């Protein structure tokens, strides 16, 4: 188990390094190539859309051919996306860059299942820690991704072309790392079965897990995607933007060293609720000022809030399905989560361009009530259920 989790963490590190690099540069490349500046984040939105559309077939395919085969296919798609993006930047083709972004999104859909693969090989007692440890690979991404974007921006005469050569190399490393994985395909899982999907979806645990993932990832994506454009509008240089994105990425992944243990200590719902409160605090910080310190503190809290919600939601979701139901439940969860992410990313550029930074944050604040209420309700529901069981046992 330990070797597999370590390899999955390495895969996650490579995947998130590429993802962080894309976040730091995609909107700016889109801004350079697009004939309409309000479409600057369209390639990133198409990346998220491809991610969303690939989640279900990726999960069902891995049910048939196994995790390693699916992850290898995803990495091959990522290699193609990086190479095509490089060519698009060199030739000045916005349409080609958008297609490349979609290929990168399809790779991400496969890579998103690294955390579930860790859950597959872990015992119930260590499942939260395994999921959390895989996401520690993102610390490498936080340190390397934005710096790699800055170092490679001027490798070639065309800005950012060198950055996407580096992205292609990362995808090649991902492919070879995936090939070292050894995750046996379970016959029970391969043949499917279990309860109807509507019975799985009707569970309060499933509903709250999905809502936590949807809103946590959606809030984070909206604010994070708009941040480079907002900082550009406030006349910050690219190195400042890269620093803020790096700080945000550290907030996303450094807590992974202890989030799993924290879940075991205080409970998954408490950790998720703390994540919601941190995201609300991020918004309030953004509304209070636009200095570099405001951006850095706010994006740091946004990262930690996402970490608590995402790891918590993933852990909670594993309580809602049996082995033979896994592929369908995970596929539906990720489809709904990344549908929300796609909408958030597509909205970010337009909101920032037309209404401004304040409007982006004012739009997020009231929506934080939805996961807050859902998580609080499930906490009370479980407490009441435990109380009734205690009374029954006493009788």
Q: Are 353 and 229 in contact (CB under 8 A)?
A: yes
**234 DSSP 8-state letter:** T
Distance CA 325, CA 306 (A): 26
| CA–CA separation, 168 and 82 (whole Å) | 4
Rounded distance, CA 5 to CA 118, Å? 6
Q: Do the beta carbons of residue 101 and residue 18 sit within 8 Å?
A: no
The total number of structural domains in the chain stands at 1
Structural domain of residue 239, as residue ranges? 2-182+195-394
Residue 189, in any domain of the structure: no
Asked whether residue 116 is assigned to any structural domain, the reply reads: yes
Q: What angle do CA 337, 341, 345 make, to 5 degrees?
A: 175
CATH assignment of the domain containing 61: 1.20.1250.20
Check residue 236 and give its pLDDT: 85
Question: Is 367 exposed, middle or buried, given 0-12, 13-18 or 19+ CB atoms closer than 10 A?
Answer: middle
d(CA 28, CA 40): 7
Predicted confidence at residue 195, as pLDDT, reads 85
Does residue 187 form part of some domain?
Answer: no
- From the number of C-beta atoms within 10 Å of its C-beta (0-12, 13-18, 19+), residue 93 rates as middle
Is 345 a domain residue?
yes
> pLDDT of the chain along its 395 residues, tens only?
678 888 998 999 999 888 878 877 887 888 888 877 777 778 877 887 898 899 999 998 998 888 899 999 999 999 999 999 999 999 989 999 999 999 999 999 999 999 888 888 877 777 888 888 888 887 887 777 777 877 887 788 788 888 999 999 999 999 999 999 988 776 556 566 678 889 999 999 999 999 999 999 999 988 988 888 888 888 888 788 878 887 888 898 889 888 988 998 999 999 999 999 999 999 999 999 889 999 999 999 999 999 999 999 999 998 998 888 888 999 999 999 988 888 887 788 778 777 888 888 888 888 899 999 999 999 998 887 766 666 666 55
Buried b / exposed e across 72-92, counting CB within 10 Å, b at 16+?
bbbbbbbbbbbbbbbebbbee
The answer to whether 110 and 66 have CB atoms below 8 angstroms apart is: no
Among 280, 266, 244, which residue's Cα sits nearest to residue 368? 280
pTM of the entire predicted model: 0.81
Contact assessment for residue 146 and residue 245, using Cβ atoms and an 8 Å cutoff: yes
Instruction: Let me know how long the chain is.
Output: 395
188 located within any domain: no
Q: Cβ atoms within 10 A of the Cβ of 36, count?
A: 9
- Domain-located, residue 389: yes
Task: Count CB atoms within 10 A of the CB of residue 238.
Answer: 18
The pLDDT assigned to 247 comes to 84
**Does 271 fall in a domain?**
yes
Q: In whole angstroms, give the CA distance from residue 277 to residue 73.
A: 38
190 falls within a domain: no
């Amino acid at each position: 188990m330990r070797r597999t989790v370590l390899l999955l963490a390495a895969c996650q590190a490579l995947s998130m390094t590429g993802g962080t690099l894309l976040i730091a540069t995609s909107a700016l490349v889109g801004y350079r190539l697009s004939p309409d500046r309000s479409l600057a984040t369209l390639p990133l939105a198409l990346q998220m859309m491809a991610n969303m559309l690939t989640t279900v077939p990726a999960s069902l395919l891995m049910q048939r051919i196994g995790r390693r085969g699916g992850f290898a296919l995803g990495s091959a798609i990522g290699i193609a996306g990086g190479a095509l993006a490089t060519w698009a930047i060199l030739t000045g083709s916005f349409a080609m860059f958008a297609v490349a972004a979609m290929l990168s999104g399809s790779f991400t859909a496969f890579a998103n299942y690294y955390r579930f693969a860790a859950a597959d090989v872990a015992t119930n007692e260590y499942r939260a820690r395994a999921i959390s440890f895989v996401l520690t690979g993102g610390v490498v991404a936080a340190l390397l991704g934005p710096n790699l974007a800055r170092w490679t921006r001027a490798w070639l005469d065309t800005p950012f072309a060198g950055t996407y050569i580096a992205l292609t190399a990362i995808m090649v490393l991902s492919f070879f790392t995936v090939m070292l994985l050894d995750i046996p395909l379970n016959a029970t899982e391969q043949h499917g079965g279990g309860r109807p999907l509507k019975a799985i979806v009707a569970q309060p645990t499933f509903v709250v897990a999905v809502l936590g993932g949807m809103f946590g990832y959606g809030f984070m994506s909206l604010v994070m995607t708009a941040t480079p454009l907002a900082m550009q509008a406030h006349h910050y240089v690219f190195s400042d933007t890269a620093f803020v994105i790096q700080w945000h990425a550290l907030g996303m992944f450094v807590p992974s060293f202890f989030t799993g243990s924290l879940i075991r200590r205080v409970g998954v719902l408490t950790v998720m609720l703390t994540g919601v409160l941190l995201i609300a605090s991020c918004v309030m910080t953004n509304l209070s000022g636009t200095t570099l310190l405001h951006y850095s503190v706010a994006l740091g809290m946004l990262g930690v809030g996402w970490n608590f919600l995402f790891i918590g939601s993933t852990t909670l979701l594993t309580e809602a399905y049996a082995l033979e139901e896994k592929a369908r439940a995970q596929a539906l969860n990720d489809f709904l989560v990344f549908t929300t992410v796609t909408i958030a990313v597509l909205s970010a550029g337009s909101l920032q361009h037309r209404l401004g930074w304040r409007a982006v944050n004012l739009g997020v604040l009231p929506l934080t009530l939805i996961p807050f209420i859902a998580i609080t309700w499930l906490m009370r529901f479980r407490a009441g259920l435990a109380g009734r069981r205690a009374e029954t046992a006493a009788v």
